[in-house]
């Protein structure tokens, strides 16, 4: 019975996995995009009430200039907010929302190309529907654990059930998240290049990030982010294609003046 239930779950998951990411990777997308967008809108609205918003004109000018250039490649109306937060971070949410922390602006120190690498990366998550895929993965895992709980195997061995939950976390969810991060890196590098930002600065940024980590980042196996060295290697591998897009953008007159 257990085998039959698991096979039924696997068949359901395979039928649902019919989407393809911008890089050509197969995806499990099980939720309506409108629902994911609404979740993004609600989350962003909550953040704006919980976190202080920067009114620094220079910070806002740089952030909006870079974000507008990036999102201009994909269309839509995007809201950009600079948050007073010392952490080196930025994010983009479904529903066309972008948040940039002042800690990131301090790190890039006015380098618009490096900021574009981060913004492009975060927008890449939205373009690739990573939030939907992430939620769909969690639904599939929870559904599988629910099936096991209904079997004699699951009922008679709660310790084994707990180990299976741990295996699902580190064997499925975190590796997929690292895949998302790597995919967003490549999408972001292309986006910044198409916008007229120098894609070589994406590599310079992650080298700077690596130095800022000072060995404090978690090891890659237990992390949702690829190791800095892995990121840099992947970006270097895709750099020739990004440079070609950059040259095309500059030839077409795309040269953002974000200071």
Distance separating alpha carbons of residues 144 and 139, to the nearest angstrom: 9
Distance separating alpha carbons of residues 175 and 221, to the nearest angstrom: 8
In the numeric block, the tokens 């061995």 are attached to 157
According to DSSP, the residues that pair with 231 across neighbouring strands are none
> Beta strand pairing status for 79-83 and 97-101?
parallel
Residues ≥6 apart with Cβ < 8 Å to 141: 168, 172, 173
Burial of 166 (0-12, 13-18, 19+ CB in 10 A): exposed
Distance separating alpha carbons of residues 50 and 39, to the nearest angstrom: 16
Q: Three-state SS for 79?
A: strand
| Catalytic residue, candidates 50, 79, 122, 181 | 122
Whether residue 183 lies in the annotated active site: no
Q: CA nearest 118: which of 177, 204, 45?
A: 204
> Beta strand pairing status for 19-20 and 97-101?
unpaired
Residues labelled as active-site residues: 122
């Amino acid at each position: 019975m257990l085998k039959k239930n698991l096979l039924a779950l696997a068949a359901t998951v395979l039928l649902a996995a019919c989407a393809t990411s911008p890089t050509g990777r197969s995806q499990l997308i099980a939720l309506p995009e409108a629902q994911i967008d609404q979740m993004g809108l609600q989350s962003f609205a909550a953040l704006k009430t919980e976190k202080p918003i920067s009114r620094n004109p220079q910070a806002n000018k740089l952030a909006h200039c870079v974000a507008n250039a990036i999102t201009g490649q994909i269309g839509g109306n995007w809201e950009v907010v600079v948050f007073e937060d010392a952490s080196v971070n930025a994010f983009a949410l479904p529903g066309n929302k972008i948040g940039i922390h002042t800690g990131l602006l301090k790190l890039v120190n006015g380098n618009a190309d490096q900021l574009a690498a981060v913004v492009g990366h975060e927008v890449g998550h939205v373009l690739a529907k990573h939030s939907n895929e992430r939620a769909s993965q969690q639904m599939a895992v929870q559904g599988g654990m629910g099936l096991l709980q209904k079997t004699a195997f699951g009922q008679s061995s709660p310790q084994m059930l707990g180990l299976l939950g741990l295996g699902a976390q580190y064997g499925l969810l975190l590796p997929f998240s690292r895949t998302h991060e790597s995919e967003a890196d490549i999408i972001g590098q292309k986006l910044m290049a198409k916008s007229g930002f120098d894609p070589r600065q994406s590599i310079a940024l992650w080298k700077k990030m690596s130095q800022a980590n000072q060995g404090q980042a978690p090891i890659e196996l237990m992390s949702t982010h690829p190791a800095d060295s892995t990121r840099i290697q992947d970006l270097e591998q895709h750099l020739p294609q990004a440079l070609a897009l950059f040259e095309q953008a500059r030839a077409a007159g795309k040269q953002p003046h974000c200071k």
